[in-house]
A and B are shown apart, each in its own frame.
Chain A
Amino acid sequence: MVNHHDTALDNSDKKGITRRRFILGTVIVAIVSAFGSLFSLLKVLAPSKKGGGYVSTIAPGDVLVYASGSKIGTEIKASSMNIGDAELAYPKGKSSNPANLVQLIKLKESDFKSPTDLKLTDKGFVAYSAICTHLGCTVSWVKNNASYTECFCHNSIFNPAEGEKVEGGPAPIPLAQIGVKVTDNDTIIFTSDFTGPIGPQV
C-alpha cells in the first residue's frame, strides 16, 4: 500500500507553490495589469481624426480672392495680372481651410502642354493646389525668364505649363490642377474640384 499522505508531504517543497514564488507572481501580475491599463490612456491621448489630411471645400462658382499681400481678402481682377504673374488665392469666404489654398498663374496660352488640362484653363489662367505634396509647405512663385513654382522648404520644383509636374526635389507627385474661368465682370471663379490628391502624400 502506498501511503498517500507521506507522498504529499515529500513533494510539498517541489510541486506546490512556494510563498516567494506566489508573491513574485502577484507582483508581476499587478505590474502587468497596471501598465496594461495605461494602454487605454494612449488611445485617449491620440484623439481620433476629425477630417484627416487635406480636404478641400471649394465649390464650382466660388470667387478667387487674394490670400496674401496688402489686398488680402479682395477679389482678384483678371485684368490686373500679366503673363508670368502668379498669386496665392482662396475661394471667397473659405480661407480657414488651408486645403483651399491655390496658386493662380497666368501663362501664355500656347505654352501649355500635357498633362495640363486645357479645359480647366481660361485665357491663360491656370490654378493648382498651393500645398506642396512633399511636407505641406506653401509653394512660391519664382519669376524669371522661365518662371516656375518652387517649394522653399526643400526646393521641390514644379512646372506650371505641364501640369505642375515635378522637375526636381523630393515632392512625390504633381500639384493637382483645379478649373478656373474669367467671368464677365473680370473676376475669376472656380469651375471644378481638384483633379488629383492634394497635400503631403504620407
Chain B
Amino acid sequence: MFKWFDERLELKKFKEKFLSKTFPTHPTFLLGEIALFSFITLVVTGIFLGLLYEPSTKMVSLFGAMVPAAYASVVKIDLLPIGMLIRRIHHWSAMIMIAAILAHLMRVYFTSAYRNPREINWFIGLALFGVSLFAAFTGYLLPYSNFSVTATSIGYYIAKSVPWIGNWLSTLLFAGDFPSSETVPRFFFLHVMLIPLILVSLIGLHMVILVKQKHTEPAVNQRNKESQNGKRLIGIPIWPEQAIISIAFYFFLLFVVILIATYIPLNPIETYGPPSPGTPVMRPDWYFLVIYGFLKLIPGDLSFSILGGKITPETIGGVIFPTFLILVFALIPILDRTNDPQHYISNPLHRPFMTAFGITGGVFLTMLVVSGYIDVLKITPRTMIIYVIVATAGTWIITYPLLKLYNKNKNGGKNA
C-alpha cells in the first residue's frame, strides 16, 4: 500500500524534506498552536452550526411568539441534543483563539522573535489578529438576539464615525443601514465564507514562511551548537515526535474547551431574547473590552472637525485609538531592527527598553479593560483616566530603571 503511493507521490522524498523539519522545543512555542487548533475547532463546529442556521430577519412564529428567523433557528439549535454545547464550544474556541493569538504575540514580542528576517510573519500575524477580531464581530450578530443587535449597532455607528468615508464604509460593511434586513445575510457570508478564506490563506502564508525561515531557537542552543560546530536547528522532527505532541495537545485542548463549554454558559440568547427597544446591561467579549473601556473614558464634549471630516468621541475611541494601536504594533519590527538575521530568542531581561515598553503597554491596556467596569466599581470616567495614567506611568518608572539596574549589576549583560 505505502509502496503504491510512494511510487506515485515520492513520499520518501517528502518525508526527508518536510516531515523531518526541526521544531525547537520550548513550552511557550505551543501558543501559536493553540490558536491554530482553536481555529480547526471553530471550522468544524461552524460547519455544524452553518447547516442549521437561517440567515434571515423575516419574522416567524416560535412557540407562539413572532421572532426573527435567525433568532428562531438558533433557539432551535440550542434545543437539539448537543446543539447548545456545539454553539458554546464554537464561542469559547473563538475567545480562546484570540487569547492564544495575543499570548503568542506577547511571546514573540518579549523574546524579540519579530526581528530580521521574521518581520513579514509579524505583519501577517497582526493581520491574523485583526481579521480574527472581525470574524468575532460578525459572529456577534448572527443569533440576532437583543444582545447581538445592540452590539452590532455600536459597531455600525463606529464604522459610521470614520471621518470622510464613514457613511460609505458603514453601508459597504453592513449592506445599508443597521438594523435592516440586509445586514444578516451580508454578515453571514462574511462570517462563514470570506473571513475564513482570508484566515486560511493568512495562516497558510504564516506557516509557509515559518517553514522557510525556521523557528527561532532558545539561546541555549547557540552555545550547544558552537561547541559541536553544528549548523542545523536543535529540536525534534515534525514526524513523529512533534506530530504526536501536537495531536495529543489538540485533543487535550479540545477536552478543556468541551469541559468549559459544558459548565460555563455563554451568550444565552434565550435570556437576552429577540431584539427589543430596551438595551440590556451588557459587556462585549473580553477582546473588545479595551476599546469598550476606552469608549467610556472619552469626554462627550471632545468633538471637532478637520477638513470637513467630523471627529467625535466615537471616532476617537472606535477608530483613531484602534488604528493607533495597530500602528504601534506594526512599527515595532521597523523601529527595533537589526541588520544581521537573528535566529535565537533573547532573554527579555536583557532588553530593558523593549521589555519595559511591553509591560507598560500591557498595563495600559489592562487598565482600559478595568475602565470597562467603572459602572460596577463606581468610579467616574475622570478619576479613572487619572488611574490609567498613574498606573501606566508608574509601571514605566518602576520597570525600566529596575531592568537597567539588573543589567548593570550583571556587568553589562549582552544586549542580545
Contact = CB atoms under 8 A, between A and B. Distances in A.
B288 to A, nearest CB: 12
Contact of B298 (A45, A130, A170, A201): A170
Given A138-B278, A154-B292, A168 B381 contact: yes
A16 to B, nearest CB: 40
Interface core residue of A90, A138, A168, A169 (most chain B CB under 10 Å): A169
B313 interface: yes
A8 interface: no
B73 interface: no
A51 interface: yes
B295 A154 contact: yes
A137 B154 contact: yes
B397 to A, nearest CB: 29
Interface in A83-125: 88, 90, 95, 98, 101
A202 B166 contact: yes
A137 B280 CA distance: 9
Contacts of B313: 134, 170-172
B144 to A, nearest CB: 15
B76 interface: no
Contacts of A140: 278-279
Nearest to B284: A153
Given A136-B153, A202-B166, A46 B172 contact: yes
B300 A156 contact: yes
A68 interface: yes
B186 to A, nearest CB: 9
B167 A170 contact: no
Contacts of B375: 152, 155
Interface in B302-318: 303, 310, 312-315, 317
A171 B374 CA distance: 16
A19 interface: no
B284 to A, nearest CB: 10
Contacts of B278: 67-68, 88, 138, 140
B172 A45 contact: yes
Interface residues of B, number: 45
A200 interface: yes
B310 A169 contact: no
Contacts of B172: 42, 45-46
A170 B300 CA distance: 4
Given A50-B177, A170-B300, A172-B303, A200 B157 contact: yes
A161 interface: no
B385 to A, nearest CB: 12
A45 B296 contact: no
Interface string A117-157: 00000000000001000111111100000000001111110
Interface in B74-122: none
A64 to B, nearest CB: 13
Interface of B: 150, 153-154, 156-158, 160-161, 166-168, 171-172, 175-177, 179-180, 182, 276-282, 292, 295-301, 303, 310, 312-315, 317, 374-375, 380-381
Q: Which 9 A-B pairs have the closest CB atoms?
A: A46-B172, A202-B161, A46-B171, A138-B279, A137-B279, A200-B157, A170-B313, A202-B160, A152-B281
9 contacts: A42-B172, A46-B168, A52-B167, A88-B277, A153-B279, A168-B380, A170-B313, A172-B313, A201-B312
